[in-house]
């Protein structure tokens, strides 16, 4: 079976500053794939490169069998890839409801707004209660849920998370991972970048470890959890 997303020998960075040095990865339909690694390894750059938001020097990225390396970002979103960015990126002055509508900007999403609202409100009942609240006044956990819900409104085939649990209390971190699993079970394919290595490997079907712009280890999530090298590097108990 062809992969949903495939990166082949991808070299990318920012202008003269090279960050990724020959990255090979794939995400298959229906999987949760985790990308973990130390600060500055190039994880966010990888997600941004998939969306054509960096300088790519070499290599190819295919989504559903199609080369997307030269397609502008908004067209890639139309094709079905959405990112929940690091730092959330919700519109603070707007209400919860307005933020959700703003997420449904693709043509594909416009036709399914009612259906999408029902889905995200069932996933996050708290957002339904707070529909008319100004987003800037939400708690950290609620804001993250809104960021995820807003991304879902675009009806992605592939949803990419960049550190969804950053700065959240442990209980909320678990809730975020629960949502990730629920999404996978509802048919959304997930690529997730996370600092919580243990939690991510527990939920991930497969995972990649990135160091200094290269993939240094890959395997099934549960198998990597037991990897001695990884245990030492990330203090997984
Ligand atoms: N817009 C940019 N312009 C220039 N260099 C950048 C830019 N964004 C990131 N970098 C550099 O690229 C390298 C990789 O950064 P990246 O954000 O991809 O790391 P990361 O693995 O996501 O790290 P973290 O876990 O801290 O989020 C870093 O050295 C960073 O300083
Ligand atoms: Mg990052």
Q: Which pLDDT belongs to residue 121?
A: 96
**Spatial distance between the Cα atoms of 123 and 118, rounded to a whole number of angstroms:** 9
3-class secondary structure, 156: coil
Give 59-118 pLDDT, tens digit per residue.
Answer: 999 999 999 999 999 999 999 999 998 767 799 999 999 999 999 988 889 999 999 999
E-assigned strands of 28-157?
A: 32-36, 55-63, 66-67, 81-84
Is residue 61 in a domain? yes
Gap from CA of 13 to ligand 2 centroid (Å): 13
Mean pLDDT of 28-44: 95
**Spatial distance between the Cα atoms of 19 and 214, rounded to a whole number of angstroms:** 9
Is residue 48 in a domain? yes
Does 199 sit in the ligand 1 pocket, CB within 6 Å?
A: no
Is residue 124 in a domain? no
Is residue 12 in a domain? yes
Reported as half-sphere exposure (CB side, CA atoms, 13 A), residue 17 has a value of 6
Is residue 103 in a domain? no
Q: Which segment, 43-47, 84-88, 184-188, is predicted with the most confidence on average?
A: 43-47
All residues with CB under 5 Å from ion ligand 2: 44
User: Is pLDDT above 70 for 129?
Assistant: yes
87 or 132, greater pLDDT: 132
Is residue 104 in a domain? no
Is residue 129 in a domain? no
Q: Which pLDDT belongs to residue 165?
A: 86
Give 196-225 pLDDT, tens digit per residue.
Answer: 888 899 999 999 999 999 999 999 999 998
User: Is pLDDT above 60 for 42?
Assistant: yes
3-class secondary structure, 184: helix
The whole-chain average pLDDT of the chain stands at 92
pLDDT above 90 covers a percentage of the chain that reads 78
Reported as half-sphere exposure (CB side, CA atoms, 13 A), residue 78 has a value of 7
Q: Which pLDDT belongs to residue 80?
A: 94
Which ligand does the CA of 48 lie closest to? Answer: 1
Is residue 120 in a domain? no
**Spatial distance between the Cα atoms of 116 and 153, rounded to a whole number of angstroms:** 6
**Spatial distance between the Cα atoms of 216 and 92, rounded to a whole number of angstroms:** 38
> What's the CATH number where 51 sits?
3.40.50.300
User: Is pLDDT above 80 for 164?
Assistant: yes
Work out how many domains the chain is built from and give that number: 1
Gap from CA of 75 to ligand 2 centroid (Å): 23
Q: Which domain holds residue 25?
A: 1-80+189-237
Mean pLDDT of 163-185: 89
Distances from the Cα of 31 to the Cαs of 85, 189, 207, in angstroms? 20, 5, 10
């Amino acid at each position: 079976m062809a992969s949903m997303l495939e990166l082949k020998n991808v070299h990318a960075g920012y202008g003269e500053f090279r960050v990724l040095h020959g990255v090979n990865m794939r995400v298959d339909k229906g999987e949760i794939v985790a990308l973990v690694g130390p600060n500055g390894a190039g994880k966010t750059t990888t997600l941004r490169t998939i969306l054509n938001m960096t300088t790519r020097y070499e290599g190819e990225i295919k989504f559903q069998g199609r080369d997307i390396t030269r397609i502008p970002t908004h067209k890639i979103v139309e094709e079905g890839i959405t990112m929940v960015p690091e730092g959330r990126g919700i519109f603070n002055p707007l209400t919860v409801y307005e933020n959700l509508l703003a997420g449904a900007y693709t043509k594909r999403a416009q036709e399914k707004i009612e259906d999408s609202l029902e889905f995200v409100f069932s996933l996050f009942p708290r957002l339904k209660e707070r529909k008319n609240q100004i987003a800037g006044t939400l708690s950290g956990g609620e804001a993250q849920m809104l960021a995820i819900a807003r991304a879902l409104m675009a009806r992605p085939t592939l949803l990419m998370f960049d550190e969804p649990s950053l700065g959240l209390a442990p209980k909320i971190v678990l809730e975020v991972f629960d949502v990730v699993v629920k999404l996978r079970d509802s048919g959304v394919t997930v690529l997730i970048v996370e600092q919580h290595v243990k939690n991510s490997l527990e939920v991930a079907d497969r995972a990649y470890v990135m160091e200094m712009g290269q993939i240094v280890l890959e395997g099934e999530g549960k198998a990597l959890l037991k990897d001695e090298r990884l245990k030492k590097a990330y203090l997984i108990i």
